[in-house]
């Protein structure tokens, strides 16, 4: 999974940056709230179909979101409270992004599935995003690790969404590309949930 690869290498490559931020007084929670604020701004832009500003803010939010964990690990500032806050704000961020696209009124049905509205794809993508996180939390609470299980987590969702939105703007058909990207995220996200369900089911008897 891309997110696990990024975490593995970011600890080594960017550790000096995390140490520096810790020394100048930046706390992981500062980056957590900065990421949420940037996501709110990105959602506002995407709701209004201002694609490129929204994508830029979305990518900055992703960097802040990844930076809080990097800073916590590098500066020795990990905590249960910080982990909970990070997970909670991530779910708000997912809801804001997909909710903005769902309510924006500019999505269109896909030619391959004309009976399914763009808003329905956005809702399905949101459900997949939320249940991906919930499936992991529920399984690990019961003692089954979900590390590296499933196709997509939040970093992959952010990257795919940013690429799809920017690509549509550059291609001159942002509504169709956005809807197609949401359809892809809906399929991949809910498939990830199924993968985690299967993984849990196969391993639950061992606990």
188 phi-psi bin (left φ>0, alpha ψ -120 to 50, beta other): alpha
Candidates 65, 68, 86, 90; catalytic one: 90
Distance CA 35, CA 46 (A): 16
113 backbone dihedrals φ, ψ, rounded to 5°: -140, 70
Q: Which of 55, 59, 35, 36 is nearest to 46 (CA)?
A: 55
**Nearest-CA neighbor of 131 among 62, 201, 186, 199?**
186
Is 90 one of the catalytic residues?
Answer: yes
Contact 179, 109 (CB under 8 A): yes
Catalytic residues: 90
């Amino acid at each position: 999974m891309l997110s696990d690869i990024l975490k593995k290498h970011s600890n080594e490559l960017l550790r000096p940056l995390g140490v520096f931020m810790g020394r100048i007084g930046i706390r992981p929670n500062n980056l957590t709230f900065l990421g949420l604020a940037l996501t709110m701004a990105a959602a506002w832009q995407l709701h209004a179909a201002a694609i490129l500003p929204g994508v830029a803010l979305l990518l900055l939010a992703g960097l802040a979101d990844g930076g809080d964990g990097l800073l916590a690990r590098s500066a020795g500032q990990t905590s249960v409270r910080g982990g909970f806050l990070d997970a909670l704000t991530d779910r708000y961020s997912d809801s804001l992004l997909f909710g903005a696209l769902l309510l924006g009124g500019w999505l269109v049905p896909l030619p391959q599935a004309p009976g399914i509205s763009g808003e329905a794809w956005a809702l399905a993508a949101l459900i997949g995003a939320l249940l991906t996180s919930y499936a992991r939390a529920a399984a690990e609470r019961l003692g089954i690790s979900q590390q590296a299980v499933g196709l997509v987590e939040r970093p992959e969702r952010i990257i795919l969404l940013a690429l799809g939105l920017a690509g549509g703007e550059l291609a001159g058909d942002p509504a169709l590309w956005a809807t197609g990207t949401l359809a892809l995220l809906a399929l991949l996200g809910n498939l990830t949930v199924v993968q985690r369900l299967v993984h849990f089911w196969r391993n639950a008897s061992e606990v």
